[in-house]
Amino acid sequence: MTKLEKTTYRNRFKEAGYTDQEIEDKIQLTWKAIFVEPETKFYFNVGEDMGYMVDTGNTDVRTEGQSYGMMMAVQMDRQDIFDRIWKWTDTFMRNHDGPYKGYFGWHATLDGEKMSEGPAPDGEEFFAMALFLASKRWGDKTETPFNYSEQARELLSVCIHKGENDEEGDPMWNPENYLIKFVPDWEFTDPSYHLPHFYECFSEWANKEDRDFWRKAAAASRAFIPTSTHPETGMNPEYSYYDGTPNPVNDHGDFYSDAYRLAANVGLDAEWFGKREDYGTIIENLLTFFDGKELDDYQKYVIDGTETSEPSLHPIGLLSANAMGALALNHSELTDRIVKQFFNTAPREGNRRYYDNGLYFFTVLALSRRYRMNWTD
């Protein structure tokens, strides 16, 4: 059995005492909140064969949301929605020329007009992973762009080879240290972009000539993640330099919004590829810091835990990511408390629900053993 043929996934909700029916109800309620219920959903069908995820706080469509929607759809075995989102993305967001050729403009209007040609690498890495999983779950179609695995391999090739042989543009990963960039043109990173569990899969599924790169990228990100987190609080900045120290450019050097996702990434990497001592330290410190705090207590923090008195813009997103991070630890009273606090919190309502509920649903999937890299059991 290879390391990608995992056959058991942890049901953390069940460990916390919830019944199979309660867990299934939670999954279905959250899916409906995002994809079905008129008052709360932010997925919409477009025309006969397309669809998009709306950033309800900014009223636009982002590669982040589109790629998240595709990942949700493949985990829930909804090929119809997956194909709709992917077709809209391919039709309106893909760049066909210039220095960003092969990448996707990171946001667009609801009418499909690009608001920027520049990409955000977290979208591309989620697109590639979701496409590979679609191929594994449903098989490739012959027509473009539904030849899923070929699309994924081509996208990853662009991500790491852009700019070679006098081609315009820059790669999304630094070719010397194998770390993902915040954007291709800037030489610093976003700790929450680091998905070593995805890179492990890419190291077996990408083009053969690229697989060694992805093995090195997985190792590099696992080494980087602890350097970006505070040794006492477990918090990380939104942006950092390659050595892990906070990058305060445009006021993004604190623990806020984007930064929350690192805990979720650590939890899923531990679930898929095994617990690591350094991950456990990060999550134990983080959960200890937030233990006993309610959503109204959450705010923007300096990574050493200093309060700024600026409320968290996405408190349910923060709670969700921390709960998913609990997968990096063994079952304990501390992890039970965060899992139960999460389970008893409803999806967010209002115009900021897009980001929070995206993280919320990923956590529901992960803690119910439904966020997988295969479906062999």
Calpha distance 236→244 (Å, rounded)? 9
Tokens coding 194: 């680091």
- In this predicted structure, what is the pLDDT of residue 167? 86
Query: Which domains occur in the chain, in start order?
Result: 8-41+263-377 (1.50.10.10), 46-227 (1.50.10.10)
Identify whether the C-beta of residue 198 lies closer than 8 Å to the C-beta of residue 372.
Answer: no
Q: Which residues of the chain have pLDDT under 50?
A: none
**Out of 83, 190, 258, 269, which one is annotated catalytic?**
258
Taking the C-alpha atoms of residue 234 and residue 338, their distance in angstroms, rounded to an integer, is 15
**Is 160:172 a contact under the CB 8 Å cutoff?**
yes
3-state secondary structure the chain: CCCCCCCCCCCHHHHCCCCHHHHHHHHHHHHHHHHCCCCCCCEEEECCCEEEEEECCCCEEEHHHHHHHHHHHHHCCCHHHHHHHHHHHHHHCECCCCCCCCCECCEECCCCCEEECCCCHHHHHHHHHHHHHHHHHHCCCCCCCCCHHHHHHHHHHHHHHCCHHHCCCCCCECCCCCCECCCCCCCCECHHHCCHHHHHHHHHHCCHHHHHHHHHHHHHHHHHHHHCCCCCCCCCCCCECCCCCECCHHHCCCECHHHHHHHHHHHHHHHHHCCCHHHHHHHHHHHHHHCCCCHHHCEEECCCCCEEEEECCCHHHHHHHHHHHHHHCCCCHHHHHHHHHHHCCCCCCCCCHHHHHHHHHHHHHHHCCCCCCCCCC
Per-residue model confidence (pLDDT) at position 29: 98
pLDDT at 51: 98
User: What phi and psi, each to the nearest 5 degrees, are found at residue 7?
Assistant: -115, -10
Tell me what pLDDT residue 151 has.
98
Q: What pLDDT sits at residue 353?
A: 98
pLDDT of residue 313: 98
And the tokens for 330? 């063994």
List 55, 60, 64, 210, catalytic entry: 64
Please give the Cα distance from 87 to 40 (Å, whole number): 24
Tell me whether residue 258 is one of the annotated catalytic residues.
Answer: yes
Q: Can you give the pLDDT at residue 1? A: 57
pLDDT of residue 261: 98
